[in-house]
Amino acid sequence: MNNVAIIIPFFGDPDYWSPFVERSTFSALNQTVKCEVIVSQGESLQEARNNGAGQTDAEWLIFLDADDELDEMYVEEMLKVSGDIRQPATVEYVDGEPIGDASLIPEKDLREGNYLVVGSMCNAELFWVAG
């Protein structure tokens, strides 16, 4: 069993998402800790995330949206704190080119939008218990 699975979900036109998925997959495969990498398509983001989670028996799940990337030390640092959820940073892309430096994703109140934060690591068992 792999300890960590990085799930890269996407929905919609696969041709549109292809270059994004390629970059996010590269960042997932380039981790200093070996991880299982799963690319998962669905009719919606939540369906794609759940489909991907259902394909692994890893202890920890990281959901990495197809248009985001992880620093090569990300998983190693997350494992040091056993799933401590940290506020991730993103890089904005226009026409496939990065614009500016990485910026922190603003914190959201769950009452405004209940979704998993990109890059957060959660215990797989708790993920399934929560539904």
Mean pLDDT of all residues belonging to the chain = 79
Predicted local confidence at residue 5, as pLDDT: 96
pLDDT average, residue stretch 108-121:
53
Q: Could you give the CA distance from residue 122 to residue 119 in angstroms, rounded to a whole number?
A: 9
Predicted local confidence at residue 45, as pLDDT: 83
Q: What is the pLDDT of residues 6-23, one digit of tens each?
A: 999 999 999 999 999 999
pLDDT average, residue stretch 17-30:
94
Q: DSSP for the chain, please give it.
A: --SEEEEEEEES-HHHHHHHHHHHHHHHHT-SS--EEEEEEESSHHHHHHHHHTT---SEEEE--TT----TTHHHHHHHTTS-----EEEEEETTEEEEEEEEPPP--TTT---PPTT-EEEHHHHHHH-
pLDDT for residue 113 is more than 60: no
DSSP state of 118: T
pLDDT tier for residue 128 given thresholds of 50, 70 and 90: confident
Percent of the chain residues topping a pLDDT of 70? 73
Predicted local confidence at residue 123, as pLDDT: 76
